[in-house]
């Protein structure tokens, strides 16, 4: 394997590494274990409040710091150092969950929030390394490869952890609680081991002269202020970010509210867990397939097709009656979810200045943290007002349709030209 291919593979493998946190910790075991083990199981409303505060705190911290940290990393040539720092923080705090005894909900919240900050913060600098490992012709495939490996890697470890939880005696464990604690430790180890290649084989990009940390902070702050006051030169980027915020809010709402919607239709827990695993394993080949589609019709049209796919999913969700319908919709989500995420990232990479990639991905990830704000509120409000969960899920169509309309106005080709001209002038 030549060094160029090795750097691309090593970069994509980080998605395999850190997706274990998203599946086993965030989506899977932490919410369940927090309610039943660390918090008071007799007071579920209180534990829901604590968990909501924990998630909001992690999101707000990263959303506030992301653009500023990105600007510092750009000026200091320190993308990998920042990524290593946040990754280490996430790994240590995730592994630390293994040590917490029953009833220690305060420490569980602290460890979880810190781990989530580490996970989210590392993603900013991981994404910003994409332009350094892939050319504009390669970026769709490499971004898709990352998401594909993330789905299969996160899904594989989650499958193992679910089996260990359901059959703890077969694994030589005394109870289900111990199985979940071991699962937390397995995520930390998985994340650590598969992170090693990116730090060995991906080189730190040099778009500016490296300066000291103090100078980087000063220059980074000036760069961030300059970008914010000069957004008129990045109108295409701003327009894309608005479109991304709208449609990715819809995607995240479907992901986060699907289980709750299934429960409201009285579907079994087994159906919901199986559907979650289905999404992971279907999304693996689908994300790679989407890069092929992008090569045929262009990345913007491919993202538009993903939005149309989610419009169909939302409408079919409104009509859903039986459990096999839920499986069918999980399959459709798997087909479109990885593709729309991967190509959104690669599409964004095309229209941003290379020497400001970490800062611009800070904005990108900031909006990602604020995603699923409008959708759940919209869905919950409509459900409350009408008394119908079906009308609640149907309301998400507003986000997909408005996101598609804004994206339609984004001139990607012109954005690429502006980004290239800006970088050429800097040189």
- Which CATH number fits the domain that encloses residue 93? 1.20.1250.20
* Phi/psi at 322 (5° precision): -120, 165
Tell me how long the chain is.
Answer: 427
Q: Is residue 224 domain-shared with residue 267, that is, in the same domain? A: no
Contact call for residues 281 and 388 (beta carbons, < 8 A) = no
- Asked whether residue 81 is domain-assigned, the answer is yes
The predicted structure's pLDDT at residue 251: 87
What's the pLDDT at 423?
Answer: 47
Strand ranges for 85-188 from DSSP E: none
Q: What residues make up the domain containing 385? A: 233-427
Distance, first Cα to last Cα, the chain: 32
Residue with tokens 């019709």: 297
pLDDT along the chain (427 residues), means of 10: 80 94 82 76 66 70 75 74 94 94 86 90 88 85 90 91 89 90 95 96 73 63 65 80 90 71 71 79 85 88 93 89 86 87 87 76 71 69 79 88 94 83 51
Q: Is residue 209 part of a domain?
A: no
Whether residues 225 and 288 share a domain: the answer is no
Q: Domain check: are 240 and 330 in the same one?
A: yes
User: Quick one: pLDDT at residue 214?
Assistant: 65
Q: Are residues 221 and 252 in the same domain?
A: no
> Would 208 be classed as within a structural domain?
no
Looking at the fold, whether 331 and 387 belong to one and the same domain comes out as yes
Radius of gyration of the chain (CA): 21
65 and 12 together in one domain:
yes
**Per-residue pLDDT at 3:** 62
Are 239 and 165 members of one domain? no
Secondary structure class of 279 (helix, strand, coil): helix
Q: How many domains does the chain have?
A: 2
The per-residue pLDDT for 320 is 84
Give the model's pLDDT for residue 427. Answer: 41
**What are the start-end ranges of the E strands in 254-372?**
none
Residue 137 within a domain: yes
- Asked if 237 and 225 sit in the same domain, the reply is no
- Cα 208 from Cα 218, distance rounded (Å): 15
Cα separation, 177 vs 36, whole angstroms: 10
Same domain for 223 and 254?
A: no
**pLDDT at residue number 140:** 86
pLDDT value of position 231: 60
Distance, in Å, from the CA atom of 351 to the CA atom of 131, rounded to the nearest integer, reads 11
Whether 115 is covered by a domain: the verdict is yes
Dist CA 172 CA 357 (whole Å): 48
The DSSP string of 69-88 is: HHHHHHHHT-HHHHHHHHHH
Contact 138, 5 (CB under 8 A): no
Whether 422 and 277 map to the same domain: the answer is yes
pLDDT of residue 91: 97
**Residue given tokens 């940290």 in the structure block:** 69
Q: 250 and 398 share a domain?
A: yes
Asked if 111 and 58 count as a contact pair (C-beta separation under 8 A), the reply is no
Of 168, 194, 229, the last residue of a domain is: 229
Task: Check residue 75 and give its pLDDT.
Answer: 65
Is residue 224 domain-shared with residue 255, that is, in the same domain? no
CA dist 276 and 259 (Å) reads: 9
**Structural domain contains residue 292:** yes
Q: Is residue 132 part of a domain?
A: yes
- The encoded tokens of residue 262 equal 């299934």
The pTM of this model reads 0.77
């Amino acid at each position: 394997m030549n060094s160029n291919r090795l750097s691309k593979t090593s970069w994509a493998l980080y998605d395999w590494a850190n997706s274990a946190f998203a599946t086993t910790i965030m989506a899977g075991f932490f919410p369940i274990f927090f309610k039943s083990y660390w918090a008071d199981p007799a007071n579920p409303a209180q534990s829901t409040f604590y968990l909501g505060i924990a998630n909001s705190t992690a999101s707000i911290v990263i959303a506030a710091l992301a653009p500023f940290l990105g600007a510092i990393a750009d000026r200091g040539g320190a993308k990998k150092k920042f990524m290593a720092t946040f990754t280490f923080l996430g790994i240590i705090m995730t592994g630390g969950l293994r040590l917490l005894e029953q009833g220690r909900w305060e420490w569980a919240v602290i460890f979880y929030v810190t781990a989530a900050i580490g996970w989210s913060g590392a993603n900013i600098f991981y994404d910003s390394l994409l332009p350094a490992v892939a050319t504009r012709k390669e970026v769709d495939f490499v971004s898709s490869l990352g998401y594909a490996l993330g789905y299969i890697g996160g899904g594989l470890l989650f499958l193992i952890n679910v089996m260990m939880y359901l059959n703890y005696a077969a694994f030589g464990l005394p109870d289900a609680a111990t199985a979940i604690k071991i699962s937390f430790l397995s995520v930390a180890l998985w994340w650590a081991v598969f992170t090693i290649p990116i730090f060995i084989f991906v080189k730190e990009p040099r778009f500016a002269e490296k300066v000291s940390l103090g100078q980087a902070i000063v220059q980074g702050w000036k760069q961030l202020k300059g970008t914010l006051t000069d957004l008129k030169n990045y109108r295409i980027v701003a327009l894309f970010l608005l479109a991304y915020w709208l449609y990715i809010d819809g995607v995240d709402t479907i992901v986060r509210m699907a289980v709750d919607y299934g429960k409201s239709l009285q579907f079994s827990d087994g159906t919901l867990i199986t559907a979650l695993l289905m999404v992971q394993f279907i999304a693996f080949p689908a994300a790679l397939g989407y890069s092929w589609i992008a090569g045929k019709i262009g990345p913007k049209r491919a993202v538009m097709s993903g939005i149309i796919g989610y419009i169909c999913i939302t409408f079919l969700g409104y009509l859903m009656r039986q459990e096999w319908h839920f499986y069918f919709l999980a399959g459709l989500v798997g087909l479109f979810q990885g593709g729309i995420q991967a190509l959104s990232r690669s599409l964004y990479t095309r229209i941003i200045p290379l020497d400001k990639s970490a800062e611009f991905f800070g904005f990108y990830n900031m909006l990602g943290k604020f995603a699923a704000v409008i959708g759940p509120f919209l869905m919950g409000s409509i459900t409350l007002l009408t008394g119908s969960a079906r009308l609640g899920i149907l309301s998400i169509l507003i986000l997909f349709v408005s996101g598609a309309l804004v994206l339609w106005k984004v001139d990607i080709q012109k954005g690429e030209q502006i980004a290239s001209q800006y970088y050429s002038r800097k040189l």
